[in-house]
Structure 1
Amino acid sequence: MIFSTINKKGGVGKTAFSFSIAKDLDLFLQSNDSSIIESIYPNKAKISTRPSLIDNCVYDFGGFIQSGVLEIAKASKAILIPCTPLYNSLLKTIETIQELQALKVPLMVLITDYQSLEEQDQARSTLQSNFTDLNFFFFKHSRIIENSMRKGLSFKELSMQTPLSRIHYKTFITEYQRLLDTLTQGASDA
């Protein structure tokens, strides 16, 4: 299984989602962007300006500048595109999707960090008015994304720490599990 997480916009959750998916599915993790992944996912994560294509890997791409990014994205079973409902994030996401559509790889948009259903609906409708055949997943604002990177734990690991964390992160984890199930189902169908 190969998955790529890409968006030209920074600060949308690419690294946290890539790390959690890799850890929860027991996959390797590679990135072309500086981050803490090598220290929080030892022996299974690597940062390189030119990541190598290997099986059973999640790729966290900070952009399209480095060579090899589009080749790896094309080999992916799915491309995840995290996006916040902020105007600039939506613009960069539209640019990102336009560049990736030609690869003919399923695109999964993760609407992250929204505060209200109105923000969620606005982000989805903005993207749907520009594109068809996008799969959407919705992750309301949660500290789980920041806590994952700070503690070096996947989303599932964080949610299982205490009975209170199970309750606190329940909605996020339900949607995250739907994402994992979609990724693994899509990979087994390919």
Structure 2
Amino acid sequence: MIISVINKKGGVGKTPFAFSIAKDLGYFLQSNDNSIIEQIYPQKAKILLTPKKIDNCVYDFGGFVEKGILEIVKESDYIIVPCTSDYNSLLRTLETLNEIGNSNKVCILVTDYRDDKEKNQICETLDSNFTDLNLFFFKFSKIIRNSTSSGASFTELYNENNLSRLSYTNFFNEYQKLLSFITKEK
């Protein structure tokens, strides 16, 4: 299986989601963007200017500029597009969706929103431009930052202790829905 995590906008959660999905599924992780993935996932992560297409890999793409990226995205089994309520994030998300196209293999992750007003703003903007989107909702949570700073996946952080299970319950439940969606048989 090939999973691409992509958005032209930085700071929307591409790397933490790509890392956690790869680690929780036991997949390889490749990125075309400088990040800490090789340090936190040393046996299975690589940063390459031109990523190589391999099976059982999650790709963390920081844009479309490098050769071969769009080909890997289009051949992916699932394409994950994280998005925040920031105006530039919404614009870049729409650009990304226009470039890759919307299909049943595209998942939009509404990340880092603070309240229902922000969540609804994102949904209205996306729904006014695209139909039948696969949406997943991840309210602001420190688990995103904690994942890459600790080298632990979302599942590992959730399972650390009773307090972490309590603190991360809503986020983790949505993450489990995402994992179930991308691992279901096609």
Could you say whether these structures have the same fold, taking a TM-score greater than 0.5 normalized by the shorter chain as the test? yes
The equivalent residue for 1:86 is 86
The equivalent residue for 1:123 is 122
Structure 2 distance, partners of 1:75, 1:53, is 9
- The secondary structure found in structure 1 opposite 2:137 is strand
Residue pairs, 1:84-163, within 5 angstroms: 84-101=84-101, 106-163=105-162
The equivalent residue for 1:38 is 38
- The secondary structure found in structure 1 opposite 2:101 is helix
Per the normalisation by structure 1, the TM-score is 0.96
Aligned CA-pair RMSD: 1.0
Structure 2 distance, partners of 1:75, 1:100, is 11
Return structure 1 stretches of 4+ with deviation > 4 angstroms.
none
The equivalent residue for 2:5 is 5
Q: CA deviation at 1:49?
A: 0.3
- Give a deviation string over 1:103-136, Cα, whole Å, max 9, x none: x562100000000011111101110100112100
Contact 1:74/1:105 (<8 A) preserved: no
* Corresponding pairs, count: 186
Amino acid at match of 2:158: S
Per the normalisation by structure 2, the TM-score is 0.98
- The secondary structure found in structure 1 opposite 2:157 is helix
The equivalent residue for 1:165 is 164
> 5+ residue gaps in structure 2?
none
Contact 1:106/1:134 (<8 A) preserved: no
The equivalent residue for 2:77 is 77
Identity %: 59
Q: CA deviation at 1:2?
A: 0.4
> 5+ residue gaps in structure 1?
none
Structure 2 distance, partners of 1:8, 1:55, is 24
Structure 2 distance, partners of 1:133, 1:58, is 24
Residue pairs, 1:39-58, within 5 angstroms: 39-58=39-58
